[in-house]
Structures are given as C-alpha cells and as structure tokens.
A and B are shown apart, each in its own frame.
Chain A
Amino acid sequence: MAGKTLYDKIWDAHLVDTQDDGTCLLYIDRHLVHEVTSPQAFEGLRMSGRKVRAPEKTIAVPDHNVPTTEGRDKHIDNEESRIQVEALDKNARDFGINYYPVSDIRQGIVHIVGPEQGWTLPGMTVVCGDSHTATHGAFGALAHGIGTSEVEHVLATQTLIQKKSKNMKVEITGKLRPGVTAKDITLSVIGATGTAGGTGYVIEYCGEAIRDLSMEGRMTVCNMAIEGGARAGLIAPDEVTYAYVMGRPHAPKGAQWEAALNWWKMLHSDDDAHWDKVVTLKGEDIAPVVTWGTSPEDVLPITGAVPAPEDFKGGKVEAAARSLDYMGLKPGTRLTDIKIDTVFIGSCTNGRIEDLRAAAAILKGKKIKDGMRAMVVPGSGLVRAQAEEEGLAQIFIDAGFEWRLAGCSMCLAMNPDQLSPGERCAATSNRNFEGRQGRGGRTHLMSPAMAAAAAVTGHLTDVRELM
C-alpha cells in the first residue's frame, strides 16, 4: 500500500463519518469568522433556534469593512459597514465566541490574527468564510474557505460535509536569487499552472526554497493557493513552524506542548505517497514578477513586456484582449515603463512584520515619487505596534507613506480605501480582478519590496536595481 500524504493524514485524523458514496463529515478544529460572510449564518441559527456547538473553537474579528483611519472604534461613517460590524459585535456576544473588536490592539485581518494568537496549529482543520483561509496551510493545517451556508453548518455542528480532493505536489528546488521573495514564488507557480491548475486538488508545497522560507513567507505562499484554484495549500511543519508557534497565547503549554509536538512530528508526506499531479520549479529560475492583466495567472518577470492577445490560445485570447483594454496597456510595452499612481502595502498576503521590514529596507532614506499616493496597512494592531517599535513606521512616514490602522483596506474596495477609475496601483495583495480595488482601478500584484521600489521611481521597477 502506498504511503500517505500530509493531506491524507490530516484528513484521516478528522473523519467523523463516511457515507458509502465517499461523502465525509470532517471535524473542524478552528472556525474563523468575519463580518461580511457571517451575518446570514447567525441569522440562520437564530431562526432555527440552534446554538454554536463549540464557541471556544470559534474566533471572530471584523476586518473587511473597517476603515483604517483613527476614530473607527467610535464611529464608522458608512452605514452598511457599520451595521455589519455591529452585527458581528452582537453575534459574538450572543453566541459567546472569542472576539477581537476594532478597539482591541489584537484586531486585524482574520488570517493574520489567527496565527499570531496561536489559534492556528499544525495538523488542524481550519475554515473561514473567506477564500484566503488557505493562508493557515503554512502551518501544515488543512485550511480552506467556505461559503456562508457552510459557515452556518460549522457553527451548528463543528463539522463540514466534504469530499476528498486529489493530491498535488508543488516543489520549488534549490535557492532563490537575491530580490526574489515568497510572493514571487507563489505568483510564479500560478503563472505556470493557471488559475484553474489547482482545481480539485490540495497542494503541498515542498522543496529547499520552501523549507528556507520563514513562517511569514510560507503564509504568503499558501495564501495564494486559492488563486491557483486549489482547495488548500499545505507546508509540512518543521522546526521553523514549532519555533513560531511556541509561546503564542493559544498555543499548548507544558506537557500539552510535548504531546502536541510528538503528534506534529508525524505530519509529513511519506516517501512513497501517491501524487495525482506534480509541478516542479527551480528556485533559481524565479525572478521578481508582476502581474500585467486582470487574472493572477497574468504573471511576468519584471524584465518582460506586455503580451498581445494573439500570444494566447482559446478563450484566453478574448480574456487577454479584455484585460489589456481594462488595464489600459499596449502589447510590447516594457513592464518597467508602466507608470503607477498608487502603492498599497498590506493584506493577508503581505501585511506581516517581515513584509513591512522588506519594504522599509528599500524605502529607508528615500522619498516616494511626487504626486504618488502610498499607504501601508499593517495586518494587525500588533504588527503595527511592532513596526512602530522597530522604527519602520517612521521610515514609511518619512518616505511619504500614510501609516494606517489594521484591516483589509485597499485589498478590496469594501471600505473607504479605494482606487478611482483608471488609477493604477502597485499592490502587495492577491487579486487583480477588474474592480477589485475600486471600480475601474488597475492593479499590478507584486512583492512588498517591489511595491516599495515602484513607490520611489513612480513606475514598475526591478527591485534589484535599488538593492
């Protein structure tokens, strides 16, 4: 019999029930909740007189809708946003779940708060009504997004009805070159496989370049597994993982820590495990990349040029033509000739302390280009406080960046931070869809260091020239 993958092992450990047709009931260890995808689920519970089965395993934080400017704990101008945040306040209270309101320094983007507080641990099943739940896979946790009906299902039963996905291995061999980051890895993988390349699979990322990443870099990689279409992305836990987890508020302590560690150590794919699909990239072949279009698969090395629709096949020809029109780009234009109006550093992809350090390293002693709008939005109140302590905040402010409070901010235009039509943004977030950052807004995805470089020069820039 073939060995098991990491995914197989986590799956098996969480099986509550299996039906004859292969439909399974999977136990959920952690349920994260935010204000946008949960109101209808709580309403459903109330209507049917149900309770939250495991409130101690349920964690809520408002992030999508909240303004990132001072005073938001007193008042949120936008009425609909305010109603959603108030609904979460009330639901958290009524159902007795763990809660980090905007007034709490620990508030932030749900996928940053979970790991930071030690809620996310290796080998767990973690779900949230948000597709970037994939982020938590960096701990070797099976983590994925669910819809609101499923949110209600998990609240009521602490389980999820699931069918098993297939196993896909994405190996990044060797070392990365200078200036190349976790963001470049994850974008390059999507560039290679396409946004549907992972559909039906759970990805395990492995190889030397992945092992060499910090926990924060690993979170960046797994965060975008969903952009590759996968249900989840996983990285097997190792010493780097344990060191990150140890001592966090909700991590196990004492004898429980030892027991947990013993269990975590068997969380790896066996050598003879079966893979349904394998993709291998060489670490040294990966360059700093940016996206040119309106799909995360539209990835090119920064040294490249805007492609033409005819470079593609099938339905992608029309999609590329539409992208170029929306993005206001002409085929053949060098990527480094594309001018930028706005820079956004933040999001659950790149809003952690190392991301801010990487951007600040480029910005130190420099100013952003005249007329540029640039903002940094830390992923949580604690990241923000740490960045202030390390002097990073001052570097950003001196360079001309706005220094904001934690939240999703300009990653998606649900709060006051938005692009205007035609405005072009260098963003460290994960989606460049039409209108994602504001109607008519144009998004180029890249790493924090690359976004910082663009802020300085005013156009897409190869960060290696500023290093």
Chain B
Amino acid sequence: MDKFTTLTGIAAPMPLVNIDTDMIIPKQFLKTIKRSGLGKNLFDEMRFTQDGQEIPDFVLNQPAWRKAEIIVAGDNFGCGSSREHAPWALLDFGIRCVISTSFADIFFNNCFKNGILPIVLPEEAVAVLMEDARKGANARMTVDLEDQTVTTSDGKSYSFEVDAFRKHCLLNGLDDIGLTLEKVSAIDSYEKTLGQSRPWV
C-alpha cells in the first residue's frame, strides 16, 4: 500500500447524496480476478453512454476535473455493497481522498486498506469545499494527514478527525496482515481457550 502524507490536487464536486457502490463501479466490472485496471470503468454508467461515448456533463469528463485526485461528495458516500472494487477503481483513476459529511461503514474501512483517505467534515465545511471544488483545475485543495487539515485554494482550513491507528498505517503505508501476525501468540492462546469455552465452534 502506498503511503498517504500530504496531497495537493484538483477536487471534483459530486454533491449527489447516497452515491452507492453500484454507481462507483457497476457490477459487470467485478468479474476481474485482479485489483488493477478498474479506473477506466469508475462511475461507468454516469460517465459513459451505453455505446461507450463520454457523457460530457459528467464532472470527471469535463476538462477541469479529468485529473481530479480528490472528490467532494454528498452525504453517505459509498453505500451499498462491500466490493473493494470501489476503492480500487477510485485509486486506479487517481483519486486518493474523498470528503463528505458521512460514509458507509464498509466502504470507509476499505478506503484505508488501499491508501485512500476518507474525510468526514460537518455540512458547513463540506459546503465550502464543494464551492472550492467547483472552481476546477485552477483551484487546488491541500490535504495534510499529519496535521489533519484540509485547506481550500484560498487558504480556508478545516481540521478533521481520524482514527490514530489508521492514520499511523496510512502515513507509513503499513500492511494490516503483517501487523496482526506480530500478535500471533495472542491468537494461539485465544484458540486454546476456545477449545474449552466453546468447543462446538
């Protein structure tokens, strides 16, 4: 997993609420057995017509946001399925950070496992960031994970909360499995007591 420290980039405004995982990556693209290459199908049904033409109105098809690295979204981003293909597609497209008032639980978790930072901010802050994102390629937002701040192109700064352990893993690009395996003796002893306390498991 790539480290996430600071990011200065273009933010795409997506004010729609309840952007679900079927919108982020429709199920016909889940048939891969790989993690890479999903960026071209990110938001597929919103981005392309049935015969594969770009839909000009869609934000990521507009010149100002083609190279967006941040999405500012409406409430409850990422609701729906557990598919990790959603963060994989975002990452493959180049999105490293999503900002919203709220996220669906599993999607939120999945982001951290892939080096994407999901940021929850109050409605007023998201509204200001949304306006800033609407300025397009001339306005770059800065996300600083160490300081836990998002700063607009004109210098307004907002602090966000992030779980300390997840922050540590993201800053250092740490793999969860490796960390957990350091605790293998605790797992061993849990399994031993399990044999007595709940042997039917």
Binding site for B on A (CB under 8 A): 13, 16-17, 19, 21, 23, 25, 27, 29, 36-37, 39-40, 43, 48, 50, 53, 57, 64-65, 78, 80-81, 83-84, 87, 121, 123-124, 129-131, 133, 144-150, 152-153, 156-159, 161, 163, 195-196, 199-200, 229-231, 252, 256-257, 259-260, 263, 295, 314-316, 318-319, 322, 412-414, 421, 431, 433-436, 439-440
By a CB distance below 8 angstroms, the chain A residues around B54 are none
Distance, CA A121 to CA B34, complexed state (A): 33
Q: Is the CB of A256 within 8 A of B80?
A: no
Q: Determine which of A53, A84, A199, A315 lies in contact with B104 in the assembled complex, contact meaning CB atoms within 8 Å.
A: A199
Output the nearest chain A residue to B50 by Cβ-Cβ distance. A439
Do A43 and B27 contact each other (CB < 8 Å), given the known contacts A29-B201, A199-B104, A439-B45? Answer: no
Q: List 23 A-B contacts (CB under 8 A).
A: A13-B197, A23-B165, A25-B187, A36-B30, A37-B30, A37-B82, A40-B35, A80-B31, A80-B32, A83-B33, A84-B33, A124-B201, A131-B81, A145-B82, A145-B106, A146-B109, A195-B76, A256-B199, A260-B200, A314-B17, A316-B17, A319-B16, A414-B31
Q: Determine which of A25, A84, A229 lies in contact with B105 in the assembled complex, contact meaning CB atoms within 8 Å.
A: A229
Q: Determine which of A78, A84, A230, A318 lies in contact with B16 in the assembled complex, contact meaning CB atoms within 8 Å.
A: A318
By a CB distance below 8 angstroms, the chain B residues around A259 are 199-200
By a CB distance below 8 angstroms, the chain A residues around B79 are 195-196, 229
By a CB distance below 8 angstroms, the chain A residues around B164 are 21
Q: Is the CB of B16 within 8 A of A229?
A: no
Q: Is the CB of B27 within 8 A of A414?
A: yes
Distance, CA A252 to CA B199, complexed state (A): 9
Give the distance to chain B from A166, nearest Cβ to Cβ, in Å: 12
By a CB distance below 8 angstroms, the chain B residues around A39 are 32-34
Q: Does B20 contact A (CB under 8 A)?
A: yes
Binding site for A on B (CB under 8 A): 15-18, 20, 22-23, 26-28, 30-35, 45, 50, 74-76, 79-84, 87, 102-106, 109-110, 113-114, 163-165, 176-177, 180-181, 183-184, 186-187, 190-191, 194, 197-201
By a CB distance below 8 angstroms, the chain B residues around A163 are 163
Do A149 and B110 contact each other (CB < 8 Å), given the known contacts A229-B79, A435-B22? Answer: yes
Distance, CA A27 to CA B184, complexed state (A): 12
Distance, CA A256 to CA B198, complexed state (A): 9
Q: Is the CB of A149 within 8 A of B176?
A: yes
Q: Determine which of A48, A157, A431 lies in contact with B80 in the assembled complex, contact meaning CB atoms within 8 Å.
A: A431
Do A315 and B180 contact each other (CB < 8 Å), given the known contacts A149-B114, A195-B79, A256-B199? Answer: no
Q: Is the CB of B75 within 8 A of A27?
A: no
Q: Is the CB of A40 within 8 A of B22?
A: no
Output the nearest chain A residue to B82 by Cβ-Cβ distance. A145
Q: Is the CB of B23 within 8 A of A148?
A: no
Q: Determine which of B18, B84, B200 lies in contact with A37 in the assembled complex, contact meaning CB atoms within 8 Å.
A: B84
Distance, CA A87 to CA B16, complexed state (A): 37
Q: Is the CB of A146 within 8 A of B76?
A: no
Q: Is the CB of B84 within 8 A of A421?
A: no
Do A130 and B81 contact each other (CB < 8 Å), given the known contacts A65-B31, A145-B106? Answer: yes
Do A161 and B200 contact each other (CB < 8 Å), given the known contacts A21-B165, A150-B109, A435-B22? Answer: no
Q: Is the CB of B201 within 8 A of A315?
A: no
Give the distance to chain A from B20, nearest Cβ to Cβ, in Å: 5
Distance, CA A65 to CA B32, complexed state (A): 12
By a CB distance below 8 angstroms, the chain A residues around B191 are 27, 158
Sample of 18 further A-B pairs with CB below 8 A, known A25-B180, A156-B181: A13-B198, A19-B165, A21-B163, A21-B164, A37-B84, A131-B81, A147-B84, A149-B84, A157-B187, A163-B163, A195-B76, A259-B200, A315-B15, A315-B16, A319-B18, A431-B80, A433-B20, A435-B26
Q: Is the CB of B106 within 8 A of A229?
A: no
Give the distance to chain B from A429, nearest Cβ to Cβ, in Å: 12
Q: Is the CB of A231 within 8 A of B190?
A: no
Output the nearest chain B residue to A145 by Cβ-Cβ distance. B82
By a CB distance below 8 angstroms, the chain B residues around A157 are 177, 180-181, 184, 187
By a CB distance below 8 angstroms, the chain B residues around A314 are 17
Of B74, B81, B103, B110, most A-chain CB atoms within 10 Å = B81
Q: Is the CB of A158 within 8 A of B84?
A: no
Of B31, B103, B181, B184, most A-chain CB atoms within 10 Å = B31
Do A436 and B22 contact each other (CB < 8 Å), given the known contacts A147-B106, A159-B187? Answer: yes
Distance, CA A57 to CA B35, complexed state (A): 26
Q: Determine which of B17, B109, B177, B199 lies in contact with A147 in the assembled complex, contact meaning CB atoms within 8 Å.
A: B109
Of B16, B103, B113, B114, most A-chain CB atoms within 10 Å = B113
Q: Determine which of B76, B81, B177, B183 lies in contact with A196 in the assembled complex, contact meaning CB atoms within 8 Å.
A: B76
Distance, CA A152 to CA B104, complexed state (A): 21
By a CB distance below 8 angstroms, the chain B residues around A252 are 200
Give the distance to chain B from A311, nearest Cβ to Cβ, in Å: 15
Q: Is the CB of B183 within 8 A of A25?
A: yes
Give the distance to chain A from B50, nearest Cβ to Cβ, in Å: 7
Output the nearest chain A residue to B34 by Cβ-Cβ distance. A40
Distance, CA A322 to CA B20, complexed state (A): 14
Give the distance to chain B from A372, nearest Cβ to Cβ, in Å: 25
Q: Is the CB of B176 within 8 A of A161?
A: yes
Q: Determine which of A53, A229, A263, A436 lies in contact with B76 in the assembled complex, contact meaning CB atoms within 8 Å.
A: A229
By a CB distance below 8 angstroms, the chain B residues around A439 are 26, 45, 50
Distance, CA A16 to CA B180, complexed state (A): 11
Q: Is the CB of B105 within 8 A of A200?
A: yes
By a CB distance below 8 angstroms, the chain A residues around B163 are 21, 23, 163
